[in-house]
A = this chain, B = another copy of it.
């Protein structure tokens, strides 16, 4: 079905242009007109693929989480010997440790602020929150069932804590890269994971 493939490809092209507008000019500039210009398509073409600006933004937001999940899936095929390494490397996938991940996080941060006033985006943001939460809970469970963790850890509270830590560090590194460097972000994550272990 080449037509469907092309259709989806075009939507992704538009979503990526949306990311570019958001990163360079801010989410308030992510209008259909500006996105058309950034993507090299006409306003009409964009309206053909997305009935509304809200739909376009929602698709662009979903694309961030899809990309992250894709990378985590790819990682599953790589067999690390040490469960702690598996968990650490998995969490690196959701931290802004390189340019691609930085772009995704910047777009995500812009969307997060918009979620407060856009109920359509809120539902998607909640779904991503829950997916991420489950993923991190599984990661802690993996450490526990490998008999690596301290005896008294509480899986639910540890998942809350790790989730907040990861998102907080990502935001701090994006907004204050000179004060909270990439290296500090990675050291802090390692320090945290070590603190759960015996």
- Contacting pair B117 A109 (CB below 8 A): no
Report the Cα distance A30→B89, complex, angstroms: 40
Within 8 A of B (CB), among A27-75: 27-28
Q: Does A174 contact B (CB under 8 A)?
A: yes
| Chain B positions within 8 Å of A174 at CB level | 116
- Contacting pair B168 A171 (CB below 8 A): yes
Number of copies of this chain that the complex holds: 2
Report the Cα distance A38→B24, complex, angstroms: 29
Q: In chain B, what residue has the closest Cβ to A126?
A: B176
- Contacting pair B164 A168 (CB below 8 A): yes
| Chain B positions within 8 Å of A165 at CB level | 161, 164-165, 168
With A117-B25, A195-B195 known to touch, is A164 a contact of B169 (CB < 8 Å)? yes
Q: Does A133 contact B (CB under 8 A)?
A: yes
Q: In chain B, what residue has the closest Cβ to A132?
A: B172
Q: Does A104 contact B (CB under 8 A)?
A: no
Q: Does A88 contact B (CB under 8 A)?
A: no
**A130 → chain B closest CB, angstroms:** 6
| Chain B positions within 8 Å of A184 at CB level | 160
Q: Does A148 contact B (CB under 8 A)?
A: no
